[in-house]
Every structure is written in C-alpha cells, then in structure tokens.
Amino acid sequence: MSNWKPMFYGAQHENFVWTALRGLFNTVASQQNGTQTRASKMMLTKRSLRYITLFMLCTTFYLLSIEKVIAQSVYMPGGSRAQHLIDRVEIRSGNLDGRLHTAFKPYRALDVLEYARYADSLGVLTSKADEFNFRYLYNDHNEYATGLDSGLFRSSEKPVLRYFYREPASLLQVDVPAFDLRINPVLQLELGMESGQDDFRYLNSRGAELRGRVDNKVAFYLVVTENQGRFMQHVQDRWRAQNQVMPGEGRGKPINDDTLLFGGGGIDYFAARGYIEFPVTRHIQVQFGQDKNFIGDGFRSLVLSDAGKDYLFLKIKTRVWKFEYQNLFAEMADYREENIRDSPIRKKYLAFHRLGLNIGKQANIGLFESVVFGPVDSTGRTGFDLYYLNPIIFYRAVEFNLGSLDNVMIGMDWKWNFLGAGQFYGQFLLDEFNFSKFREGDGWWANKFGLQAGLKYIDAFKVSNLDLQAEFNTVRPYTYGHFNPVSSYSHFAQPLAHPLGANFREGVGVIRYQPLGRLELQARIIAAAYGSDTGASNWGGNIFLDNDDFEQEFGNQIGQGVPVNLFMVDATASWQLFHDFFIDLRLIRRQEDHALKGQQASTFFGGGIRWNAGAKSFDF
C-alpha cells in the first residue's frame, strides 16, 4: 500500500493534531510532579480527556480520508466453527502461515478466508466434510471472498422472492459502491426436561444481526437479542449467587408471570454487542466496541476467556513478518454486592498486551502482560491512568514508579504442531511469586500462578474428521484476587479467565466427529476438584474476596477449603438443514459432590433449533 495520502491534509489539520498531542503530553507531564491538590488533579484529568477526544477525532478524520483502500473486516463470532477448521488446517499442513495467529480470538473474517484459500491450495484436507466446511466459510462472509478465486465460493442461484437470500448466508443484502450491508435473523429455541424438576427447561432467544462496510474503509457489526429461559438448576443457582447476573451475560430479571407458555420461574435478559473496525496501515487494524475476547488455543483460557459478559474495549492489532502484537484497553464493571445499588455501577479498567511469534513453521509462542485497576486506590488516583495507554511499556515498571499496587499479571502461551496430526499447547500465568519460598515448598499463600497443558489429535486413528482434545488446567489459591477487591481479575461479578475462579484442578476432554458435512457430533467431558469458601472463610477460591484476609500464610495447597468434585458430560448432535440453521439434540449429565451439601446430580435431555446463533454452554 504505497503512494497513499489523506485527501485533506493541510496546515490547519496538522495544527489541530499537534495542538491535541501537545496539550495531552503537557497535561500528563504536569501530573508527574505530584504537587497538585485533589481538585487540581481532577481538572487535569478532565483537560486530558478533552485533548484525547480532540486527538481521536482528528485521527479518525485522517483515517477516513485515506484515498486508497486498506483491508478491513468484521470478525467471526466467538465460538465460530471457523476456529476448529483453522486448527485442522494448521495441524495437517504443519505450516504456521503469517496470515493468521490463532491465540487471540475472535478471528477477522478476511484473515480466515485468505487462510482458507491458502489451505485449499495445499490440498491437505480432502474429505467431503472438509470440503463442506470450506464452502461454509466462503459462503458465510462472501463479501470478503470476492477476488479470492476459489471454486468453493458460490452465490445463491435461486433467490427467494427475488430479494431474499440472493446469497446463501444473508437474508437481505445491500451492495452499492460506497456501502454494503448484510442482515440476518437470530433465533434460538430449546426445550427439554431436567431430572428432579417438574418444570420444563427452555430458552427463547430472538434478535437480529447486521454487518457491513462504509466506503470500503470502515467495517461494522451489531447483534441484538432478547432472551427468556428457565435453565438447569446449577445455572439458576449461579445467577442468584451473582446478584442476578446471568452467567456469560449481564443483569437478568426473574420471570414471575405464570400466564406465559412455560410459566414463571425463568430469567429474562437482554444482550447487545457491536463494534467498528478500520485499518491504520496495511499491517495495523483498530477495533472499537462492545464484545468478548479469548486468548489461547485451548478449550479454557487462564488469561482471558469469553465465559463472562462482554465489555467496552479498544483493540489494536499489529501484524508484521513473524510477529503479531495485540493491545487491548477495556472498561469493566465492579459489580460487587456493596456497589450494585450505586447508579451508575462503578467502573474498573483492564490494559493488556500480547506479543506472538511464529518459530519456524510449526511453533508459536506468546508473551503477555495485563493490569486491572479501579477508579480509586490508596494513592488517591481517580479515573483511567494514562500511563497504561502506552502500547509497548511494561506495566509492572509503570505500577512500581507510580507507587501504586494495581493487579498486574504476566505469562506466556505456546503451541507446537507435530507429525501432521497433533498439537501441543498451553499457558502459564504468573500473578505473584517468590522463588525462595517456592523452593522451600511451604505453600506460601502469595505464590499465585496457573498452568494449562493440552493436546489435540485430528483424524484420530485414521478416521476422517474424528478429532480429540485433552486438556489439564490448574490454578493456585488466591490467584486473580487482590487486596483491593475492585482490582480482582473480574468483570460484572464474573471471572475474566476460568469460570471456577481459582484453587482448582480440572481435566477436559472434547470429542468431535463430522461423518457427514451437515452432521456434527460433539461431546465435552469435564472433571474438576476445587476448594469452596463458605461464610467468612477465604481459602483462595473466591477471587472477589480481599486477599489480605487469607486463612493461613503457609501450608496452602490446591483444593483447600471445602472440597468439591465436579463431573459433567455435555453431548450434542447437530444437523445443518441450511446455512447456519441447525437442529440440535442435547444430553447433559452433571454431578457435584460437595463436602457439606452432599451430592447434587441432574440429567437434562432436550432439543431445539438455532438460526445464526451459537449453542449456549454453561460448563461449570
């Protein structure tokens, strides 16, 4: 992308930008001397925000005035079928291509299609199911497939009533020179029975999905759903324990109307996610909006998962040569019991960066660092700390020089593809650590870390499209927590990483089999042992408690507290009737052995339909 320049770039525009930058840096510098009063600090913060707003407006105008088109794209929805197909391509080819780094999800649709074209050219996946999956990818976001020159891409030959489904994956579409738009319905209906319960379990979710581009420079996405459901008992118990926060979502209000089809006793919640994405250069993309992110190559993530609620964020992705560097700045909600009566809910913030590097053709390693901090701490700071906006600095160094004790974590992730059939992956998270105390083996409470290790085996035992996955996760007590609970690694009463919090060991097995293109069989098996906190005790499992209130300084071990053993199997058979319209049958068995409450076991069997919606899972 050479010889491009802004259509409007004169002295006046340049002066605006430099005025904003100069004012911002002068304001930050004036905050460093530490002599201001609280009132003057608040004035400086407001002044900083004005300069930031001015700078962002000027920068946005500059980007939108670029003459030549630079690639932009929406993202595949979280949990997309594309993720597993990309895994299969990478493992089978034994070649990590620079088009796509898989540890940071979701993926850009354009990156996925380019990678699919590349994989198609290698001829490494040749089964009928693989061909069906490739065609699904091209059809799913075919506005980005134009020019990819693949025989797997096809448009709909027979539109419905002239205007509907002119392409296989879009109910309605608009294509004009400066604008394109795709509109789809979102529908999920599920009905079943749970053992020991008299009432039906159900889910009724309706909504709409929109995506498009403006001037071939800015991509946008929006999905909105209205949801009602009566869920399995362990989900409703978690909802009550979290002050009526729906797991994986936000606030949910109880349904007390017995005149409804399936009566009261359910949960009603609203969900909306949306963002814009635009390029800065050929190798740098910016995304801003409300959504979820996932980091890692496993079923779980010990770093950042999509098991909780979506959040407002700014993401900057830089991909060049063998490197990919991602910055994430997010605003979270401190939704603890003492804060939920406030209006609005108190805010907290996350700053995160990860550097990924392809090593040879078969290995990738990533280094990451994150910091979570509240709006007010012991230093008297208010608002977002501008120091954390630096995209390439070490947060621990910033924290130390500020005299602050925010919740900083570091770590690494890795994957290695081998023998054209397997992948070894994992993560290591370090919250706090003292090597001398670790060497002594005395279980010091503040040695806090987590470890993940997993294996994937595709086309297992030479059976096409039979894929197996085994994963082990363990997290020490008190990890993710903080002496200032507002800075716990959480958002909206839910952990940002593993849904079990901390103080656990877990084994996960996943079986996927696709005997036919339209038929998918999947089973997840989860076995976990963890320690529960009850009453006023703090044995390190509940990340929302004050870490200074630990039960004992030494002798801490994983699973301490009230022992709990969890076993869960979730098996699903899905038939894709037409593009993104699935008919599901589902069987769930869950058993929890609690040292104080005894055994709680239940079995769910049901079925339903999904149209442009992913299957909901509550794996805890």
Taking only the tens place, the pLDDT of each residue in 591-602 is 999 999 999 999
Residues whose CB falls within 8 Å of the CB of residue 240, separated by 6 or more in sequence, listed in order: none
- Distance between CA atoms of residues 464 and 127, nearest Å: 7
Q: Where does the pLDDT of residue 72 fall: very low under 50, low under 70, confident under 90, or very high at 90 and above?
A: confident
What is the per-residue pLDDT for 400?
A: 58
Answer whether 468's CB lies under 8 Å from 527's CB: no
pLDDT over threshold 90, residue 208: yes
Structure tokens at 40: 């003057």
Please state the length of the chain: 620
Q: Which residue has the tokens 């960066």?
A: 353
Structure tokens at 349: 């913030």
* Segments of 133-171 assigned E as strands: none
Q: Where does the pLDDT of residue 37 fall: very low under 50, low under 70, confident under 90, or very high at 90 and above?
A: very low
What is the per-residue pLDDT for 421?
A: 95
Q: Which residue has the tokens 């012991």?
A: 378
What is the per-residue pLDDT for 99?
A: 73
- Distance between CA atoms of residues 310 and 249, nearest Å: 7
What is the per-residue pLDDT for 32?
A: 40
More confident residue, 609 or 38: 609
- Distance between CA atoms of residues 186 and 226, nearest Å: 10
pLDDT over threshold 60, residue 138: yes
What is the per-residue pLDDT for 82?
A: 85
3-class SS letters over 480-540? CCECCHHHCCEECCEECCCCCCCCEEEEEEEEEECCCCCEEEEEEEEEEEEEECCCCCCCC
pLDDT over threshold 90, residue 351: yes
- In angstroms, what CA-CA distances link 377 with 94, 296, 373, 383? 48, 31, 8, 10
Peptide bond into 106 cis (omega under 30): yes
pLDDT over threshold 80, residue 12: no
What is the per-residue pLDDT for 3?
A: 34
pLDDT over threshold 70, residue 466: yes
pLDDT over threshold 70, residue 486: yes
What is the per-residue pLDDT for 230?
A: 95
Average pLDDT of the chain is 84
Taking phi over 0 as left and psi of -120 to 50 as alpha, with beta for the rest, 439 belongs to alpha
pLDDT over threshold 70, residue 343: no
- Distance between CA atoms of residues 263 and 59, nearest Å: 53
What average pLDDT does the segment 461-489 reach? 95
pLDDT over threshold 80, residue 323: yes
Answer whether 134's CB lies under 8 Å from 146's CB: no
Cβ of 401: how many Cβ atoms within 10 Å?
10
What is the per-residue pLDDT for 65?
A: 53
Taking phi over 0 as left and psi of -120 to 50 as alpha, with beta for the rest, 162 belongs to left
Percent pLDDT > 90 in the chain is 59
Q: Where does the pLDDT of residue 435 fall: very low under 50, low under 70, confident under 90, or very high at 90 and above?
A: confident
- Distance between CA atoms of residues 146 and 153, nearest Å: 9
Percent pLDDT > 70 in the chain is 80
What is the per-residue pLDDT for 52?
A: 54
Structure tokens at 75: 């993202």
pLDDT over threshold 70, residue 426: yes
What is the per-residue pLDDT for 392?
A: 73
Pairing of strands 363-373, 347-359: antiparallel
pLDDT over threshold 70, residue 64: no
Structure tokens at 589: 């068995």
pLDDT over threshold 80, residue 403: no
- Closest by alpha carbon to 386, among 19, 58, 29? 29
Tens of pLDDT along 77-117?
A: 877 888 898 899 899 888 777 778 899 999 999 998 888 88
Longest dimension (CA), the chain: 75
111: three-class secondary structure by DSSP: helix
Q: Where does the pLDDT of residue 319 fall: very low under 50, low under 70, confident under 90, or very high at 90 and above?
A: very high
Question: What one-character-per-residue DSSP string does 287-306 give?
Answer: EEEEE--EESSSSS-SSB-S
More confident residue, 211 or 534: 211
pLDDT over threshold 80, residue 425: yes
- Distance between CA atoms of residues 282 and 72, nearest Å: 9
Tens of pLDDT along 171-185?
A: 999 999 889 999 999
More confident residue, 96 or 584: 584
What average pLDDT does the segment 523-546 reach? 93
pTM, 2 dp: 0.87
What average pLDDT does the segment 408-435 reach? 93
- The DSSP symbol for 77 reads P
What is the per-residue pLDDT for 25?
A: 45
Residues whose CB falls within 8 Å of the CB of residue 434, separated by 6 or more in sequence, listed in order: 444, 446, 447
What average pLDDT does the segment 405-421 reach? 91
Pairing of strands 494-495, 172-176: unpaired
Answer whether 586's CB lies under 8 Å from 609's CB: no
Tens of pLDDT along 247-284?
A: 999 999 999 876 566 667 899 999 999 999 999 998 99
What is the per-residue pLDDT for 335?
A: 86
pLDDT over threshold 70, residue 38: no
What is the per-residue pLDDT for 17?
A: 43
Structure tokens at 436: 């001398």
What is the per-residue pLDDT for 15?
A: 47
- In angstroms, what CA-CA distances link 612 with 197, 487, 497, 564? 30, 36, 26, 37
Answer whether 257's CB lies under 8 Å from 230's CB: no
365 forms bridges with which residues in the sheet?
A: 357, 414
- The DSSP symbol for 135 reads H
Q: Which residue has the tokens 């976001």?
A: 141
Answer whether 425's CB lies under 8 Å from 299's CB: no
Amino acid at residue number 80: S
pLDDT over threshold 60, residue 377: no
